[in-house]
């Protein structure tokens, strides 16, 4: 095949959330954009995050329908994974068509294939050489696997495979109890599958406050998840149609399926980075500055593949999108900054966890005698209407004299309802006292945030 040449203002490698956001913004600013993509459009943001949240919603609906004392007797709740797989595939196709429409309307050139650097100003893909004054690497990440483990995608799965399950099974062992592990443990338990969750740490979600970890562990256990702490996996193998998980303490767990959820590694190994002078860091990540520039200034890296030197550089779709736009703004010399202190997040476990800003632990380390209030879901009228009493909203503000909101954590059904408001207030330095006289709809879940503020101000008793 003869090679051809193409020039553009910006060449983007990877059409996940970060690459897509960068491409759309760059095109809106008049840049000629070429988007090179070796996988599905929107990457894991669609084929992983969307599908897993689709599974979550279906599982949550089943869990709610099975609750006793709701005035009706549920029936016909057998789980048909083939139908679930078909529904998720249909949704993925629909969203892909919407995305293709965006690209067409914005006149973004899409090249299907894996891009590889030839030199700092040229990439090659399918025999074509693409040259540009600026490049953006947005190749994302892939699941990390245990050394020596053969993942077949059916009995032994990663997060890339588990969203495409199309047949039922009875038991699942989840190796790794981070966010992904906790989410899928919740989902499959709600589908009626027996789940064992293995955590190498001594508490779940150890990056969060101990009270949240203890609360989630209690609910997981009550829901039927068998949580094992300090559990290090030695090997995983298929034996007689079952999956055998051998732990370092010599104990053995037999299950129908195993999900390995031990983190992700950056997809940078096929880019031929030595041709650019960029040297990747640990787990393949590319170190970048606050403008998303690599050590080669005209080459940027965003999303999971790029790593800023901040503990708040989280692997989240909305952060990846913000980084993509930030990089393009820097190329165009448009002033912009990515403020990380308010970043909202959602953990799609059951119950849901959502937050913005600092944990109570970090807030005390940084600011000392901070003020903290919890408003229990059991005191909220809307939660009572839902007959959903587990959880709370925790509001963390500065020490006396400093009324800034430092962090918020919400646990419970639809906990994400309070986080958008919280993140905006944190980002703009709006004091918690603003909540005292603001008017929230009733009955709503956001009233819990307001009532937590009233507890701090002394206008409401902490407990009943």
Q: Which domain holds residue 364?
A: 344-457
Structural domain contains residue 221: yes
Asked if 12 and 75 sit in the same domain, the reply is yes
Contact 285, 171 (CB under 8 A): no
Asked if 377 and 403 sit in the same domain, the reply is yes
Structural domain contains residue 151: no
Asked if 318 and 443 sit in the same domain, the reply is no
Asked if 129 and 270 sit in the same domain, the reply is yes
The predicted pLDDT at position 74 comes to 75
Q: Which of 73-77, 148-152, 245-249 has the lowest mean pLDDT?
A: 73-77
Structural domain contains residue 339: no
Share of the chain above pLDDT 90, in %: 87
Instruction: CATH number of the domain at 348, please.
Output: 3.30.390.30
Quick: pLDDT tens for 18-40: 999 999 999 999 999 999 999 88
Structural domain contains residue 464: no
Nearest-CA neighbor of 131 among 11, 41, 229, 246?
11
Backbone φ and ψ for 180, nearest 5 degrees, come out as: -65, -45
Asked if 258 and 271 sit in the same domain, the reply is no
Asked if 253 and 209 sit in the same domain, the reply is yes
Q: Please identify, among 296, 331, 366, the residue that sits at the C-terminal boundary of a domain.
A: 331
Q: Which residue's structure tokens are 């051809």?
A: 4
Structural domain contains residue 463: no
Q: Is the pLDDT of residue 165 over 60?
A: yes
Asked if 293 and 179 sit in the same domain, the reply is no
Q: What is the count of structural domains for the chain?
A: 3
The predicted pLDDT at position 42 comes to 87
The predicted pLDDT at position 341 comes to 84
The helix-helix angle for 51-65 and 179-190 (nearest 10°) equals 40
The residues, ordered by sequence, that sit 6+ positions from 274 with a Cβ below 8 Å of its Cβ are none
Asked if 11 and 139 sit in the same domain, the reply is yes
Contact 345, 205 (CB under 8 A): no
Backbone φ and ψ for 20, nearest 5 degrees, come out as: -65, -45
Q: Please identify, among 262, 279, 303, the residue that sits at the C-terminal boundary of a domain.
A: 262
Asked if 300 and 416 sit in the same domain, the reply is no
Instruction: CATH number of the domain at 251, please.
Output: 3.50.50.60
Quick: pLDDT tens for 255-302: 999 999 999 999 999 999 999 999 998 889 999 999 999 999 999 999
The residues, ordered by sequence, that sit 6+ positions from 404 with a Cβ below 8 Å of its Cβ are 397, 398, 426, 429, 431, 432
Q: Please identify, among 331, 362, 387, the residue that sits at the C-terminal boundary of a domain.
A: 331
The span from the CA of 303 to the CA of 25, in Å, is 15
Asked if 14 and 123 sit in the same domain, the reply is yes
The predicted pLDDT at position 147 comes to 87
Taking the chain, what is the end-to-end CA distance rounded to the nearest angstrom? 76
Asked if 390 and 421 sit in the same domain, the reply is yes
Structural domain contains residue 337: no
The predicted pLDDT at position 168 comes to 95
Please tell me the total number of residues recorded for the chain in this structure: 464
The predicted pLDDT at position 1 comes to 42
Contact 139, 113 (CB under 8 A): no
The predicted pLDDT at position 312 comes to 58
Q: Is the pLDDT of residue 397 over 60?
A: yes
Structural domain contains residue 375: yes
For residue 381, give Cα distances in angstroms to 135, 378, 445.
Answer: 52, 8, 8
Structural domain contains residue 336: no
Asked if 160 and 258 sit in the same domain, the reply is yes
């Amino acid at each position: 095949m003869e090679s051809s040449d193409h020039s553009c203002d910006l060449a983007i490698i990877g059409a996940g959330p970060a690459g897509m956001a960068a491409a759309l913004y760059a095109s809106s600013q008049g840049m000629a954009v070429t988007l090179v993509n070796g996988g599905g459009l929107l990457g894991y943001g669609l084929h992983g995050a969307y599908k897993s949240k689709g599974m979550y919603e279906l599982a949550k609906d089943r869990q709610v329908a099975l609750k006793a004392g709701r005035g009706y007797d549920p029936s016909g709740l057998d789980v048909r994974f083939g139908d679930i797989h078909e529904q998720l595939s249909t949704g993925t196709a629909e969203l892909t068509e919407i995305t293709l429409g965006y690209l067409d309307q914005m006149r973004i050139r899409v090249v299907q294939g894996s891009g590889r650097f030839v030199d700092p100003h040229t990439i090659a893909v399918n025999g074509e050489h693409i040259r540009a004054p600026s490049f953006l690497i947005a190749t994302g990440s892939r699941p990390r696997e245990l050394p020596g483990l053969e993942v077949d995608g059916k009995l032994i799965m990663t997060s890339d495979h588990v969203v495409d399950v199309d047949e039922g099974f009875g038991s699942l062992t989840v190796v790794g109890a981070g966010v992904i592990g906790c989410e899928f443990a919740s989902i499959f338990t709600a589908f009626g599958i027996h789940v064992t969750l293995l955590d190498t740490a001594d508490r779940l979600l150890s990056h969060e406050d101990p009270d949240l970890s203890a609360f989630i562990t209690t609910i997981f256990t009550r829901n039927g998840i068998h949580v094992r702490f300090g559990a290090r996996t030695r090997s995983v193998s298929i034996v007689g149609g079952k999956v055998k998980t051998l732990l370092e303490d010599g104990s053995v767990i037999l299950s129908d399926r195993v999900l390995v959820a031990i983190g992700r590694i950056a997809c940078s190994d096929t880019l031929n980075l030595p041709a650019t002078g960029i040297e990747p860091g640990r787990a393949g990540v590319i170190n970048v500055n606050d403008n998303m520039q690599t050590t080669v200034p005209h080459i940027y890296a965003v999303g999971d593949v790029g790593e800023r030197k901040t503990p708040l550089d989280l692997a989240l779709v909305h952060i990846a999108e913000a980084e993509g736009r930030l990089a393009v703004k820097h190329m165009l010399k448009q002033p912009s900054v990515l403020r990380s202190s308010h970043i909202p997040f959602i953990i799609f476990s059951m119950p849901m966890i959502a937050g913005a800003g600092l944990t109570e632990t970090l807030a005390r380390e940084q600011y000392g005698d901070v003020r903290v209030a919890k408003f229990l879901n059991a005191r909220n009228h809307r939660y009572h209407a839902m007959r959903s009493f587990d959880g709370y909203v925790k509001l963390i503000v500065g020490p006396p004299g400093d009324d800034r909101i430092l962090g918020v954590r919400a646990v419970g059904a639809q906990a994400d309802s309070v986080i958008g408001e919280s993140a905006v207030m944190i980002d703009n330095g709006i004091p918690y006292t603003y909540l005292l006289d603001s008017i929230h709809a009733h009955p709503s879940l956001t009233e819990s945030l307001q009532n937590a503020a009233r507890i701090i101000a002394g206008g409401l008793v902490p407990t009943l």
